[in-house]
Structure 1
Amino acid sequence: MEQEKDTKSNGDDVSRLEKYKEELIAIHHKSQETFEQQLSYISAGSLALSIGFVKDIVKDIDCAGYRPLLGIGWVLMVITLLLNLVSHLLAVKFYRKSISEIHRNEFVSSKSDTRFDKITWLNWTCVGTLVLGILLIIIFVNHNL
Structure 2
Amino acid sequence: MSDIPEPTFTTPTTPLTEEELAEYQQKLTDWNQELETYAANLDSHDKSRERALDNRKNAEIEYDKLIVYLAGGGLVLTVGFIKDITKAAKTTDVGWLLGCWICFALALLVNLVSHALTRMAADALLTDAPNWKNLDKKVNWANWTCLILVGLGIFVFLVFVFLNFPAHA
Q: TM-score range by the shorter chain?
A: 0.7 to 0.9
Residues 35-69 of structure 1, C-alpha deviation per residue, up to 9 Å, x if partnerless? 011100011001100100000011168x3122111
Question: RMSD of the TM alignment (CA)?
Answer: 1.5
Q: How far apart are 1:143 and its partner, in Å?
A: 2.2
Query: What letter matches 2:32 in structure 1?
Result: E
- Gap regions ≥5 residues in structure 2: 1-28
Q: Which has the higher helix share?
A: 1
Other-structure match for 1:53: 81
Report what 1:77 is aligned to.
Answer: 104
Q: Percent identity?
A: 25
What stretches of structure 1 of length at least 5 have no aligned partner?
102-106
SS in 2 for 1:64: coil
Count of aligned residue pairs for this structure pair: 137
Structure-1 residue corresponding to 2:47: 19
Name the larger-Rg structure: 2
Give the structure 1 partner of residue 5 of structure 2.
Answer: none
Partner secondary structure for residue 118 of structure 2: helix
What is the CA–CA distance in structure 2 between the aligned matches of 1:74 and 1:134, rounded to whole Å? Answer: 10
Deviations 1:114-138 (A, max 9, x none): 2201100110011111101110001
Q: What TM-score do you get using the length of structure 2 for normalisation?
A: 0.76
Q: How far off its partner does 1:4 sit? A: 1.8
Measure, in 2, the Cα distance between the counterparts of 1:9 and 1:99: 30
Partner of 1:97: 124
Moved over 4 A (4+): none
Q: 2:38 & 2:127 partners in 1: Cα distance?
A: 31
Question: 1:29: which partner in 2?
Answer: 57
Please state if 1:138 is matched with 2:158.
yes
